[in-house]
Amino acid sequence: MSTLKLHNFNKHFYGVKAVNGLSLEFEAGKITGLVGPNGSGKSTLINLITGIIPKDSGTIFIADGFKTDKIMAQDMYDYKITRTFQNVRVFEQMSVLDNLMVVLTHRNALGALFEKKKKLYEDRAIEILEKLDISEKKHELAVNLSYGQRKLLEIGRAIAMDADIILFDEPYAGLFKEMIKKVSEIIKELREAGKTVILVEHNMEIIRDLCDTVVVLDAGELLAHGKPETVLKQRDVVEAYLGE
């Protein structure tokens, strides 16, 4: 059963067709790679799904039969959807631990600090930080982390949401080899847990290694959809994406 289905998604910016008539299905327990040249509509599609920007038209179907024409960003928790961003978004003036506490308690930043079950949530937060190999930074302000560590913290916040649908927008950008390996391990664990994972990524080696399915966009439209070993060899994909 597909966990997320999009029907006839459209978004135009001043006459430019950023997303044009897209209909896609993303399956539970699978990693779907979303690839394409710059300007192909990948991040725009992620923003439409998560309500960051409004779409012109289109319908979203979620596994339990829920259907909607609109998901607002503030409603993502209710729909069990979460995401990361190309440009890391964390609470810079809060500690690493408290960045996770805010998510785990589903409260605002101040309310999270006074949650009655604080110890239970702290234990879960530390467990996630240990998985990311940044638990030693738990009392550091997020602003003091390296770029790679901030990326890992944002991924940790996504994990803490315990969402069914997780969208990663270029999570590997700027990471060292060991961090790339760690992120891949986490994404594979999410698949094993039955999550629906959507991955925007330019590194084709990562796409081939991780993804069960690849969706290729070009100029806001679907160019190809299928298994990586097949799709990435198609001549039209090579010409559009690799410029050959």
- 183 and 241 inside one domain: yes
Strands 196-200 and 165-169: parallel
First to last CA, the chain: 36
Q: Tokens 């909607």 label which residue?
A: 68
Tell whether 169 and 192 lie within a shared domain: yes
- Structural contact between residues 53 and 41, judged by C-beta atoms closer than 8 angstroms: no
Q: Are residues 179 and 236 in the same domain?
A: yes
Based on the domain organization, do 147 and 209 belong to the same domain?
A: no
Do residues 26 and 196 touch, judged by C-beta distance below 8 A? yes
145 and 170 housed in the same domain: no
pLDDT in tens, 207-234: 999 999 999 999 889 999 999 999 888 8
**Which of 6-10, 97-101, 129-133, 174-178 has the least mean pLDDT?**
174-178
Of 128, 145, 162, which residue is a domain's last? 162
Run of H or E including 10: strand 2-13
What does the alpha-carbon distance between residue 62 and residue 161 come to, in Å, rounded to a whole number? 17
Residues 171 and 197 in one domain: yes
**Same structural domain for residues 173 and 75?**
yes
Scanning the structure block, which residue is given the tokens 């408290």?
98
Same domain, 103 and 202: no
pLDDT band at residue 2 using 50, 70 and 90 as cut-offs: low
pLDDT in tens, 82-137: 999 888 888 899 999 999 988 887 654 445 455 556 778 888 999 999 999 999 99
Average pLDDT in the chain: 87
pLDDT band per the 50, 70, 90 thresholds, residue 3: confident
19, β-bridge pairs = 11
Residue, of 143 and 74, whose pLDDT is higher: 143
**What is d(CA 42, CA 51) in angstroms, rounded to the nearest whole number?**
14
Domain enclosing residue 183, as ranges: 1-80+164-244
Instruction: Examine the domain organization and report whether 168 and 244 are in the same domain.
Output: yes
End position of a domain, from candidates 112, 129, 162: 162
Please report which confidence band the pLDDT of residue 183 belongs to, taking 50, 70 and 90 as the band edges: very high
